[in-house]
Amino acid sequence: MDELLLDVENLKMHFPVLGGIFRRPVGKVYAVDDVSFKIRAGETVGLVGESGCGKTTVGRSILRLYKPTAGKVVFDNKDLSQLSREELRDLRRDMQMIFQDPFESLNSRHTIGNIIEEPYIIHGIGTPVERKNHVKQLLHRVGIAARAVTRFPHEFSGGQRQRIGIARAIALNPKLIICDEPVSALDVSIQSQVLNLLLDLQREMGLAYLFIAHDLAVVKHISDRIAVMYLGKIVEYADADTLYAKPAHPYTTALISAIPVPDPEQKKKKQILVGDVPSPIHPPPGCVFHTRCPYAIDDCSNMTPDLGVAPGNSDDDHWVACIRAGEIDLG
């Protein structure tokens, strides 16, 4: 797990806001604003935060489904911004995505066999007979009977549809899979089955995951390291155990305190955030979290904190963006 697979540096994705009769740009949505992190081969990095903080946009920008406004994405020692359309298409064999909605991500007019076979057709892999055999093997691998190849997406449950989406994602033996909230639309029992399937496939195939979610309990179960996002920025980045045991950012503390404890007799201190998330069109100056932070001081609205090594951390594996990190007691 030492080989660096993905290096995201200062990634920005700003969408124009159009207005007036001629639909000219009148502003920007700062969906992703200066995000940096790394993923090593075979590891899972969790990306968590509230809805609308830019998590999905990060994933789509990495795959170049969106063209980033600025920043650098290096995958397997290749700078994606320097690749032609053909080179990028070839590289996407090694980068795949599992989408949030298992029904909307599958073409309802195609059979399951056609859906899973499509990556082989696009990249010109195998004969028709070989492709059909590969499809049956993939279905078996994700726990679906081979006879399902002639059925349509609406004939399956949500959990089964997500397994089909996973089969499509692993068809080309990728190195990295971006999982965009793959279990958020599923009930709890099915969530655990899909998560365990992802872990089994990771062990078998040496996959690396960028696991996007808003449920910290789910992310802790599957992730080696976790990045916490708020309003387009990463505010904390650490290995999973450290993040849960010693969070260094007030926002991370609030997210962890919101995780329910399955013991009615255990008392847990909760940190309730006041106010709403500011608009990404007009993000607040200084620290983007200062409008809701219970520990904010005047400097927080004037100084933009950089993501740096957390105080008291000697291993350089815990990063936080807070000018008061180390001086406030997060309990």
Assigned domain for 162 exists? yes
Assigned domain for 238 exists? yes
17-30 burial, b for 16+ CB within 10 Å, e for fewer?
Answer: eeeeeeeeeeeebb
22 and 154 co-located in one domain:
yes
209 and 311 co-located in one domain:
no
- What angle in degrees, to the nearest 10, is found between the helix axes of 112-122 and 128-141? 120
296 and 202 co-located in one domain:
no
Assigned domain for 193 exists? yes
* The pLDDT of residue 327: 86
Residues in the chain, total:
331
Model pTM? 0.92
Assigned domain for 46 exists? yes
Q: How many helices (H) and strands (E) does the chain have?
A: 9, 12
User: Which of 162, 185, 214 delimits the end of a domain?
Assistant: 214
CATH number at residue 95: 3.40.50.300
272 and 310 co-located in one domain:
yes
C-beta separation of 119 from 172 below 8 A? yes
205 and 236 co-located in one domain:
no
167-188 burial, b for 16+ CB within 10 Å, e for fewer?
Answer: bbbbbbebbbbbbbbbbebbee
Domain containing 65: what range?
A: 1-214
* The pLDDT of residue 175: 96
The amino acid at residue 233 is K
203 and 269 co-located in one domain:
no
Assigned domain for 194 exists? yes
C-beta separation of 71 from 11 below 8 A? yes
Assigned domain for 219 exists? no
* Tokens matching residue 79: 């700078």
Assigned domain for 183 exists? yes
291 and 325 co-located in one domain:
yes
Beta pairing, strands 208-213 & 176-180: parallel
- pLDDT (tens, 9 = 90+) of the chain, 331 residues, equals 579 999 999 999 999 999 888 889 889 999 999 999 999 999 999 999 988 899 999 999 999 999 999 999 999 999 998 999 899 989 989 999 999 887 888 999 999 999 999 999 999 999 999 999 999 999 999 999 999 999 999 999 989 999 999 999 999 999 999 999 998 878 888 888 999 999 999 999 999 999 999 888 889 889 999 999 999 999 999 999 999 989 999 999 999 988 777 766 666 677 778 888 899 999 999 999 999 999 999 999 999 999 999 887 766 789 999 999 888 887 6
- What SS3 state is found at 160? helix
Q: How many CB atoms lie within 10 A of CB 259?
A: 14
User: Which of 155, 184, 214 delimits the end of a domain?
Assistant: 214
248 and 194 co-located in one domain:
no
208 and 169 co-located in one domain:
yes
C-beta separation of 97 from 178 below 8 A? yes
Q: Give the distance from CA 93 to its chain's centroid.
A: 19
* Tokens matching residue 123: 């990249």
- Distance CA(196)–CA(249), nearest Å, equals 30
- Distance CA(47)–CA(180), nearest Å, equals 9
Alpha helices by DSSP H, 171-248: 188-205, 216-222, 240-245
* The pLDDT of residue 263: 66
* The pLDDT of residue 313: 76
- What SS3 state is found at 35? strand
Strands of the 78-79 sheet, one edge to the other: 24-40, 4-19, 70-75, 78-79
* The pLDDT of residue 104: 85
Looking at residue 302, the DSSP 8-state letter turns out to be T
Structurally, how many domains does the chain consist of?
Answer: 2
User: Which of 188, 214, 240 delimits the end of a domain?
Assistant: 214
34 and 183 co-located in one domain:
yes
* Tokens matching residue 74: 């290096």
- What SS3 state is found at 250? helix
Closest CA to 209 of 190, 234, 232, 183: 183
* The pLDDT of residue 211: 97
* The pLDDT of residue 293: 93
* Tokens matching residue 271: 């940190």
Q: What values do phi and psi take at 3, rounded to 5?
A: -75, 125
Assigned domain for 159 exists? yes
40 and 179 co-located in one domain:
yes
210 and 228 co-located in one domain:
no
